[in-house]
């Protein structure tokens, strides 16, 4: 039998309770709703495998997390079903991470229905990930908040983020709303594994997850969270904002206990400071990462996802003062290195990657950037 390690949200982070903390109130420019408050979400379960060759997890699995070391090269995977082992499928490992660590390469691969096992290529470390059968996490705090460029917002808005009704604010599904396991942020002594660091915002960068979406987008967000926080040992998710095919917007990287997504407090142009995440290695400080759920190598995001992306980028530009039409000299606040780029960029504009997918990248200027620059029609 291949050696395996069983992981749950508790054992992966020293058994600390994953209870959310309700943000303080009132919060200018932020309105919370009771939707999802005090709810539950299943813990992510995982079985790690350290040996090559076919493996058969003891429990059902939804995805396989594939990880490698710095400079990891692409690999392949094939799945076993009742019909036997299927064909090999390429796995394109994405290399990135926190600026204070060596970059790491990883990817998530969705398992086919009825999969009983799999085999990954040599030198790949894997974990079979179950997103639905874990014990229920108790979640605290509002399930949704609305971030607005103004001084106040009305609670309970149900408008789509891409609609005209949302031009004065974008509703976010909070970490509590999508089921973040907050225990992963801490070590055995209760110290934060990735203490938040804040810098003025210079750029906004768009990504894709490079995997097909499932029936439950919140579960997909939890899978990305697990990959980054546990398998890559970052302690948290590497994106600031995520968007699903229906246009729902999700809060990403933890930015403090004030309940304001992305920022150190209520943002205002010239003084907006974003928490440093891990979406563009070497260019993370002062760079807000927005990730679309899906693989856009050969197809485009849904209209709803594109509309929400435009609304989110417009909001972020409004609250930070970033000019979406500008070419900038991005200044790394730690090293002082200056890199030219667009204020609103694709991941591939910073690094050697196919992200956010070849099909989407080809139309990004007209489908997204030009709409952000033009403002609400």
**pLDDT of 377 over the 50 cut:** yes
Place of tokens 């004030």: 258
Residue 18 lies inside a defined structural domain of this protein: yes
Question: 223 and 94 in one domain?
Answer: no
- 296 within 8 A of 357, measured Cβ to Cβ: yes
- For position 270, what pLDDT does the model report? 81
DSSP 12: G
Whose CA is closest to 108, among 4, 225, 221, 211?
Answer: 211
Confidence of residue 33 (pLDDT cuts 50, 70, 90): very low
Least confident of 92-96, 129-133, 281-285: 92-96
Please give the tally of structural domains in the chain.
2
DSSP H helix total and E strand total for the chain: 5, 24
- For position 250, what pLDDT does the model report? 98
Question: 271 and 158 in one domain?
Answer: yes
- 35 within 8 A of 106, measured Cβ to Cβ: no
**pLDDT of 34 over the 70 cut:** no
Count Cβ neighbours within 10 Å for each residue of 100-109 and write b for 16 or more, e otherwise.
eeebbbbbbb
pLDDT in tens, 110-119: 999 999 999 9
The token duo for 334 is 């730690």
Residue 281 lies inside a defined structural domain of this protein: yes
State what percent of residues in the chain have pLDDT above 70: 83
Confidence of residue 149 (pLDDT cuts 50, 70, 90): confident
**pLDDT of 46 over the 70 cut:** yes
Question: 176 and 59 in one domain?
Answer: no
- For position 168, what pLDDT does the model report? 67
pLDDT in tens, 303-343: 999 999 999 999 999 999 999 999 999 999 999 999 999 99
Question: 287 and 181 in one domain?
Answer: yes
**pLDDT of 365 over the 50 cut:** yes
**pLDDT of 20 over the 70 cut:** no
Confidence of residue 94 (pLDDT cuts 50, 70, 90): confident
Question: 106 and 17 in one domain?
Answer: yes
**pLDDT of 5 over the 70 cut:** no
Residue 36 lies inside a defined structural domain of this protein: no
**pLDDT of 226 over the 70 cut:** yes
Average predicted confidence (pLDDT) for the chain: 86
Q: How many CB atoms lie within 10 A of CB 336?
A: 7
Place of tokens 């995982």: 46
Query: Using CB atoms within 10 A of its CB, is residue 81 exposed (0-12), middle (13-18) or buried (19+)?
Result: middle
- For position 38, what pLDDT does the model report? 58
Whose CA is closest to 320, among 287, 277, 347, 352?
Answer: 287
- 210 within 8 A of 355, measured Cβ to Cβ: yes
Q: How many CB atoms lie within 10 A of CB 75?
A: 20
DSSP 365: I
Question: 111 and 129 in one domain?
Answer: yes
Check residues 218 and 39 and name the one with the higher pLDDT. 218
- 15 within 8 A of 124, measured Cβ to Cβ: no
pLDDT in tens, 265-310: 999 888 899 999 999 999 999 999 999 999 999 999 999 999 999 9
The token duo for 350 is 């910073």
Residue 11 lies inside a defined structural domain of this protein: yes
Confidence of residue 32 (pLDDT cuts 50, 70, 90): very low
Mean pLDDT for the stretch of residues 234-250: 98
Question: 45 and 60 in one domain?
Answer: yes
CA atoms of 332 and 334, how far apart (whole Å): 5
- Of the ranges 71-85, 144-158, 249-263, which is most confident? 249-263
Mean pLDDT for the stretch of residues 67-79: 79
Residue 317 lies inside a defined structural domain of this protein: yes
Question: 146 and 131 in one domain?
Answer: no
State what percent of residues in the chain have pLDDT above 90: 74
Whose CA is closest to 276, among 355, 337, 203?
Answer: 203
Residue that is last in its domain, among 135, 168, 192: 135
- For position 164, what pLDDT does the model report? 44
Mean pLDDT for the stretch of residues 39-50: 94
Residue that is last in its domain, among 120, 135, 150: 135
CATH number reported for the structural domain that contains residue 287 in this entry? 3.40.80.10
Residue 366 lies inside a defined structural domain of this protein: yes
**pLDDT of 180 over the 70 cut:** yes
Residue that is last in its domain, among 135, 169, 191: 135
CATH number reported for the structural domain that contains residue 109 in this entry? 2.60.120
Contacts of 107 (CB under 8 A, 6+ apart): 65, 66, 91, 92, 93, 94, 210, 211
**pLDDT of 72 over the 90 cut:** no
- For position 52, what pLDDT does the model report? 75
Give me the sheet containing 344-346, strands edge to edge: 30-33, 144-147, 170-173, 249-251, 241-243, 287-292, 203-208, 344-346
The token duo for 244 is 């699903």
Residue 319 lies inside a defined structural domain of this protein: yes
Q: Write out the residue range of the structural domain in which residue 267 sits.
A: 137-374
- For position 93, what pLDDT does the model report? 87
Residue 127: beta bridge partners? 48, 65
Contacts of 303 (CB under 8 A, 6+ apart): none
Question: 214 and 181 in one domain?
Answer: yes
Question: 160 and 115 in one domain?
Answer: no
Question: 74 and 165 in one domain?
Answer: no
Question: 156 and 50 in one domain?
Answer: no
Mean pLDDT for the stretch of residues 166-186: 90
């Amino acid at each position: 039998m291949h050696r395996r390690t069983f992981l749950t949200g508790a054992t992966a982070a020293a058994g600390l309770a994953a209870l959310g903390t309700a943000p303080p109130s009132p919060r200018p420019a932020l309105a919370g709703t009771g939707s999802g408050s005090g709810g539950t979400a299943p813990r992510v379960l995982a079985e790690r495998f350290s040996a090559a060759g076919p493996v058969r997890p003891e429990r059902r699995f939804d995805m396989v997390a594939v990880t490698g070391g710095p400079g990891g090269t692409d690999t392949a995977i094939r799945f076993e079903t009742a019909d036997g082992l299927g064909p090999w499928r390429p796995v394109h490992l994405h290399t990135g991470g926190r600026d204070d660590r060596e970059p790491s390469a990883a990817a998530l691969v969705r398992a086919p229905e009825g999969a009983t096992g799999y085999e990954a290529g040599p030198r790949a470390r894997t974990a079979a990930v179950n997103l639905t059968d874990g014990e229920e996490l108790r979640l605290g705090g509002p399930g949704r908040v609305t971030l607005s460029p103004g001084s106040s917002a009305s609670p309970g808005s149900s408008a789509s983020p891409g609609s005209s009704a949302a031009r004065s604010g974008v509703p976010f599904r909070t970490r509590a709303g999508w089921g973040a396991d907050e225990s992963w942020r801490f070590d055995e002594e209760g110290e934060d594994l990735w203490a938040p660091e804040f810098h003025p915002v210079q750029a906004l960068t768009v990504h894709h997850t490079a995997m097909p979406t499932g029936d439950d987008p919140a579960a997909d967000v939890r899978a990305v969270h697990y990959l980054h926080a546990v398998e890559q040992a970052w302690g948290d998710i590497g994106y600031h904002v995520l968007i699903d095919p229906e246009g729902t917007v999700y809060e990403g990287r933890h930015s403090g206990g004030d309940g304001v997504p992305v920022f150190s407090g209520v943002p205002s142009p010239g003084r907006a400071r974003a928490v440093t995440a891990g979406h563009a290695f070497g260019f993370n400080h002062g760079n807000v990462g927005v990730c679309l759920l899906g693989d856009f190598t050969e197809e485009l995001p849904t209209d709803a996802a594109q509309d929400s992306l435009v609304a989110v980028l417009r909001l972020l530009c409004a609250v930070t003062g970033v000019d979406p039409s500008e070419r900038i000299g991005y200044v790394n606040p730690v090293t002082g290195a200056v890199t030219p780029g667009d204020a609103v960029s694709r991941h591939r504009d910073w690094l050697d990657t196919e992200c956010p997918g070849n099909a989407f990248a080809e139309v990004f200027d007209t489908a997204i950037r030009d709409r952000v620059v033009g403002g609400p029609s």
